[in-house]
Amino acid sequence: MKAKEIRGKEDAEIRFDMENMEKELFDMRFRSLTEGIQNPSKIRLLRRDIARMQTILREREKGIRGQESR
């Protein structure tokens, strides 16, 4: 997910998406240890997307950047 897409969302939407991604990341980590996964790079992408969302939420909290118009 691109930063521009995330910035176009409301805070509640970002938190909801982030929660779902964190659950998916947990499941993927668990599966990778028990049975192996076909695409291990997806774990890295999920971690980066979560970090991107956290950064944007923190920017809004600090007043650095607001929500961009859709």
Give the pLDDT confidence of 6-39 residue by residue, as tens digits: 999 999 999 999 999 999 999 999 999 888 888 8
Residues 6+ apart with CB under 8 A from 31: 37
CA distance 4 to 22: 20
- CA torsion sign for 7, 11, 13, 16 is positive
Give the predicted TM-score (pTM) of the model.
0.85
Report domain extents, the chain.
3-62
Main-chain phi, psi angles of 37, to 5 degrees:
-120, 155
Provide the H-helix boundaries in the chain: 3-7, 11-34, 41-62
Fold of 3-62: Helix Hairpins (1.10.287)
